[in-house]
């Protein structure tokens, strides 16, 4: 008992302010990483790996398996190498969020009210007519890789232009429109689909809207062709069943940095 007491006393004596700061930083980093992975497939991978590791440790302790014990004790370096490979999408998303936060801290310009008004009017009108639409508004993360999958447009954003693109049987109505700096830069764009599960009433447009919002900081407006309902995705979150007033307030909050005053 005295040996344990001496061991604890010696360790606590070495625990100074620098060590406390280090422990705090590491704890915050781990907490931030868990928040980032929450609700993603990576969390299931971590859970599965932890269960396998715990089972292996219990087997070693119960049956004295020297080879398995050696593998467990010497697998740490291999795990450090494997983690960036396994969690590459999540790590990339984390770095992008840090970059976007830094850009906003240095005063990056928000989207103009012209884009907000044009998108709001077009989406509301198409919702009444039950015309399906998928409009992506670029923020800090560049969308050039996705723009190159579509047809160049380079025209000032307007309700008439957006509605003509998504008019039924139009050659470009099945893809997405990307808006950058008040201009429609491309139409018929292909977006990545989300791997997350969501209600069955949401179709491919909603999966694409969630997919691009999970990978970038873009704001996406979706109009359902089946129900005429308007949804908005941002930062991996879906805001569904919006009317014209709520849509306008949400777009102002997300794109112009204004406080959303709608309930």
- Contacting residues for 125 by C-beta, under 8 A, at least 6 apart: 159, 163
Q: Is the pLDDT of residue 103 over 60?
A: no
Q: How many residues in total does the chain contain?
A: 263
> What is the predicted pLDDT for the residue at 88?
74
- Contacting residues for 226 by C-beta, under 8 A, at least 6 apart: 130, 203
CA distances from 71 to 60, 80, 219, 251 (A): 11, 15, 47, 53
pLDDT tens profile 205-252 = 999 999 999 888 899 999 998 889 999 999 888 998 888 889 999 999
Fold of 113-256: YojJ-like (1 (3.40.1700)
- Contacting residues for 161 by C-beta, under 8 A, at least 6 apart: 155, 184
Q: Is the pLDDT of residue 121 over 90?
A: yes
How confident is the prediction for the chain on average, in pLDDT? 81
What are the structure tokens assigned to 112, written together? 């103009």
pLDDT tens profile 31-61 = 877 776 665 566 667 778 788 888 888 888 8
Q: Is the pLDDT of residue 4 over 90?
A: no
Per-domain residue ranges of the chain = 2-105, 113-256
> What is the predicted pLDDT for the residue at 66?
84
Average pLDDT over residues 84-107: 62
Residues 231-236: contacts with CB under 8 Å, at least 24 apart: 231/202, 231/206, 233/206, 233/209, 236/210
Average pLDDT over residues 65-90: 77
C-beta of residue 230 within 8 angstroms of C-beta of residue 247: yes
Which pTM does this prediction carry?
Answer: 0.63
pLDDT tens profile 159-198 = 999 999 999 888 888 899 999 989 999 999 999 988 776 6
pLDDT tens profile 122-133 = 999 999 999 999
């Amino acid at each position: 008992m005295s040996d344990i007491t001496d061991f604890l006393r010696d360790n606590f004596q070495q625990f100074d302010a620098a060590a406390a700061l280090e422990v705090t930083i590491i704890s915050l980093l781990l907490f931030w990483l868990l928040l980032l992975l929450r609700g993603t497939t990576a969390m299931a991978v971590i859970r599965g790996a932890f269960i396998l590791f715990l089972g292996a440790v219990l087997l070693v302790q119960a049956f004295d398996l020297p080879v398995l014990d050696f593998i467990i004790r010497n697998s740490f370096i291999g795990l450090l190498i494997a983690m960036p490979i396994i969690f590459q999408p999540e790590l990339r998303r984390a770095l992008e969020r840090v970059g976007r936060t830094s850009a906003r801290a240095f005063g990056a310009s928000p989207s103009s009210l012209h884009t907000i008004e044009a998108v709001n009017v077009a989406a509301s009108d198409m919702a009444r007519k039950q015309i399906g639409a998928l409009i992506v508004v670029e923020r800090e993360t560049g969308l050039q890789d996705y723009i190159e999958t579509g047809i160049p447009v380079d025209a000032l954003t307007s309700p008439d232009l957006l509605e003509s693109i998504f008019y039924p049987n139009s050659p470009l109505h099945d893809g997405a429109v990307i808006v950058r700096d008040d201009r429609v830069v491309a139409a018929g764009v292909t977006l990545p689909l989300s791997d997350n599960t969501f209600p069955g009433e949401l179709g491919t447009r909603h999966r694409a809207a969630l997919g691009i919002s999970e990978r970038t900081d873009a704001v996406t407006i979706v109009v359902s062709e089946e129900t005429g309902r308007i949804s908005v995705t941002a930062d991996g979150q879906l805001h569904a069943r919006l009317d014209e007033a709520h849509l306008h307030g949400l777009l102002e909050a997300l794109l112009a940095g204004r406080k959303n005053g709608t309930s």
